[in-house]
Structure 1
Amino acid sequence: MQTVPFQTTGGGSAPSQAPQVPGMLPIEQSYIENILRLNKGKLVTVYATFENNREWNAKKFEGIIEAAGRDHVILSDPQSGMRYLIPMVYVDYVTFEEEIEYDYPSFGGAPSLSQYSPR
């Protein structure tokens, strides 16, 4: 499922696609969840911060990306077999051991993400 932002017009509630700025990354394709989905199966380290936690404030999770959604990422640790469901609200950043896949498939002749400059 791809997230597409929309705005309402006038008195109606019909969604319309957000305007695209020439030379800029399309907004609906730049979400972290989509980048994680593109890299499913890769080994990553997720750094997370849990405020007001007496046992540990920050934690790192190492594992293979199993899935990612708008509000979570699921990792599996190949050494222990443990699976982690990490809410995105706690994720600070993610590191990859290999090159990050960032090219979206082109639909309807739309340019790939590599043809856009970052925001």
Structure 2
Amino acid sequence: MIAQPYRPVTYTIGSVSSGSLPSGMSNMSNMSNMGNMGSMPGMPGMSTMPGMSPMPGMGMGGMMPPQVSSGSPMTPTGTVIPTTAPVFEQSYIENIFRLNLGKVGTFYFTYENNKDWNAKIYKGVLEAAGRDHIIISDPATGQRFVLLMIYFDYATFDEPLLYQYPGVIGNPPTRGGR
């Protein structure tokens, strides 16, 4: 048996047809007489019914709905209004650290269930920041530390920090002389 492409079924109700089948083909018993009614361009063995115009990239069922990104507005006719989403980093600690690479800070860590040292303080230049770690270096010795963020408590810096809040370009203006 040869697989046939999907063809929508049309029925005649009274004298009005629900499709555009040729005369004499108003019920399912005559559907087997259709045969190959014209080849689709570029698709050997595929056929199309009269009145249907195959479109490149479209299936036999007609036009595909447009791709719509979540939250995109649409007109009453169904046209999608393209919008561009603002691109900005979210306010996560690793992003704040990335904005302040090269600054000297004091980093406080707690290591639970450790008999020798429960809490530890590191002071150094912030060299890199990832999702789960930071790399700092001691300016006096040049020694580098890879510290896991799972143990991170907080950090202090002796100079102003760059901080970009989501949706705001640049640093917000400071109040008064504070």
After TM superposition, the score normalised by the length of structure 1 is 0.66
The answer as to whether partners of 2:135 and 2:145 remain within 8 angstroms in 1 is yes
Q: How does 1:1-119 map to 2 (within 5 A)?
A: 28-103=89-164, 111-112=168-169, 114=171
Amino acid at match of 1:51: E
Other structure's SS at 2:126 match: strand
Q: For residues 79 and 89 of structure 1, do their structure 2 counterparts lie closer, same or farther at Cα, with a shift above 3 Å needed?
A: same
Shift of 1:57: 0.2
Higher helix proportion, which one? 1
Aligned-residue CA RMSD (Å): 2.8
Q: Percent identity?
A: 53
- What is the CA distance between 1:54 and its match in structure 2? 1.2
Moved over 6 A (4+): none
Structure 1 gap ranges (5+): 1-14, 18-26
Q: Which has the higher strand share?
A: 1
Instruction: String of CA shifts for 1:43-84, please: whole Å, max 9, x gaps.
Output: 000000000111100000000000000000100000121101
Whole-angstrom CA distance in 2 between matches of 1:16 and 1:86 = 38
